[in-house]
Amino acid sequence: MNNTIGQALLAAFLGKKRIIAETGAGQHGVATATVCARLGLECHVFMGASDVKRQSLNVFRMKLLGATVHAVESGTKTLKDAMNDAMRDWVANVDDTFYIIGTVAGPHPYPLLVRDFQSVIGRETRRQCLEKTGKLPDALVACVGGGSNAIGMFYPFLSDESVELYGVEAGGLGIETGQHAAPLCAGRPGVLHGNRTYLMEDENGQIAGTHSVSAGLDYPGVGPEHSWLKDIGRANYVSVTDDEALAGFRTLTRVEGIMPALETSHAVAYAQKLAAGMDKDQIVVINISGRGDKDIHTVAELDGIEI
Amino acid sequence: MSRIEGVLKSLKEQGRKALIPYITAGDPHPDQTVELMHTLAAAGADIIELGVPFSDPMADGPVIQLACERALKHGTSLRQVIGMVREFRKTDTKTPVVLMGYLNPMVAMGYREFADAAAQAGVDGVLTVDLPPEEADEVAPLFAERDLDPIFLLAPTTTDDRIRAIAEHSSGYVYYVSIKGVTGSASIDVDEVARKVAHVHELTALPVGVGFGIRDAKTAAAVGKVSDGVIVGSVLVNTIAEHQTDPAALNQALTDLLHPMREALDNQVT
């Protein structure tokens, strides 16, 4: 909600009556629909047709909140196509419409806006960690699709050089298969959606299709600030596969009673690996960026269970 | 003088307006593009805008999105599109060709390599939808050295300061987007376009082409009256989609669409 509240207040300040948003897993769509309901703004959410199918719970939530959900049939029918259609809507309705982008990508000033609104995550983490443990964490772990939860977590720690930053991308079926969504691990710089960043693309500059078990990470680009953090070596970008993420999902659910989103489960899975090589008195913070209720159908289907 | 400048200057001297058709290269098949370009020229095109297909054409409506998908299914790459222009130039040295597309394929090819190949093939102008002029510093000198005209879009919402700044980065012509929206969307308000184009003319000496939403001879004539040229895209691309399995019918259908536009534009002679 951090980002959507900030942007919706900005929209209201600008006098815009109509809000559009793109969403992958539906988290950002639900957040936008929620704040629109609260502020009395008309809300249209663009969502790839294949994500509408795999995230039906969130689609229903958005509708309950009064939003219109547009299933996007073009291209690969996932998050990037939702973003394309949101931009197309925006240029046609720019007079009365504000576009609430859900990630730290997109044209300037969105990467900056979204980072600042999401930074409440890192600021609270930093303060709470100091209060409770008297020291800074040793490592932060967050999943990275577009990278908004991760940048929100990382940003207030950038100058704390003792704090290692780990962004976990979707390794899908494995980086070597090409079926993944890990532009920082396996992509190259290019331009998409108004920003220059690491992208998944073919040798001719066409944007590549992505694969991830989690719709929210299924994006071929990444926020440009993550690309910068990678290039200067301040943050580490790694990937975990669909299977590892699913194992992380189960572990956190069973051990802590917290059911994480499949996106978040990537961070959980990597944190387990990371922690295995650390001392007991060291601190790892995982950003539990989303809840897993919305993914129950996906997990059940993988287990061959019909709900 | 670039080929684009030359054509627009000569039209102006004759009191005529430019007819600028757009097609997507590689649609319906890469083997047909050069022939289609010749068809457009024979039907009265003064300049050809040749679309470079991209996987994520954010400024385009469904008609051109589908054209991109058809072209990409056959693997049409930027290098191949440049090759098509080279082929076209073997028999047509007078019709300027503008490549219209998105930035990433150019980034992937490398700016210098692209500029070299495009200029050698006989490309005259480059319109990159998602390259704002303030980000064009790297390519601008490469284009200028090779007489490639950089063409930028102006929108109904573009402010005066920005129109001036964009015009400063442009040569050949500026492309006025007649509506708020994507290609092929709502029909245009000719009076509104007339007001805005007249205003653009006050801010720049460059010719102004108007596109997005021009689909018939009547609109073309009305827009031609107030601008230096009309750009016609989606209605042609739609025709290509309808006749994708019949090349002969396709060439005829494109000719039948452009002829009345050409006539209507020329009857506007003042």
For A52-73, the pLDDT digits (tens) are 988 888 999 999 999 999 999 9
The predicted pLDDT at position B269 comes to 53
Residues 6 or more apart in contact with residue B253 via CB below 8 angstroms: B239, B242, B243
Average pLDDT over residues A194-214: 95
Which of A71-75, A109-113, B10-14, B90-94 shows the lowest per-residue confidence on average (mean pLDDT)? A71-75
Overall average pLDDT of the B195-208 stretch: 96
Q: How large is the average pLDDT for residues A297-302? A: 88
State the CB neighbour count (10 A cutoff) for residue A296.
13
Distance CA A218, CA A180 (A): 8
Domains in chain B: boundaries: 3-266
pLDDT tens digit string along A170-184?
999 999 999 999 999
Q: Does domain B3-266 have CATH number 3.20.20.70?
A: yes
- CB atoms A206 and B181 under 8 Å: no
Mean predicted lDDT score pLDDT of chain B? 95
User: Span B16-39, mean pLDDT?
Assistant: 97
pLDDT tens for residues B155-181?
999 999 999 999 999 999 999 999 888
Contact B139, B109 (CB under 8 A): no
**Chain B residues within an 8 Å CB radius of A199:** 104
Q: Residue B19's beta-bridge partner residues?
A: B230
Contact at CB, A95 and B182, closer than 8 angstroms: no
**Partner residue opposite B130 with nearest CB, options A81, A194, A205:** A194
In this complex, do B107 and A205 lie within 8 Å of one another by their Cβ atoms?
yes
pLDDT of residue A244: 97
Q: What is the pTM of this model?
A: 0.94
Nearest to A145 by CA among A267, A235, A20: A267
Query: Can you tell me whether residue A130 is helix, strand or coil?
Result: helix
Q: Cα torsion for A187, A190, A193, A194, to the nearest 10°?
A: 140
Candidates A91, A99, A108, A200: best to mutate against B (most CBs of B within 10 A) is A91
Annotated catalytic residue B60: yes
Tens digits of residue pLDDT in A4-14: 999 999 999 99
Please, are residues B230 and B261 in contact by the beta-carbon 8 Å criterion?
A: yes
Interface contacts A/B by beta carbons within 8 Å: 73
Q: Which among B24, B52, B58 is the top mutation candidate for probing chain A, defined by the most A β-carbons within 10 Å of its own β-carbon?
A: B58
Q: Using a CB–CB cutoff of 8 Å, tell me whether B245 touches chain A.
A: no
Q: How far is CA B29 from its chain centroid?
A: 19
d(CA A163, CA A154): 9
Domains of chain A, earliest start first:
2-102 (3.40.50.1100), 119-302 (3.40.50.1100)
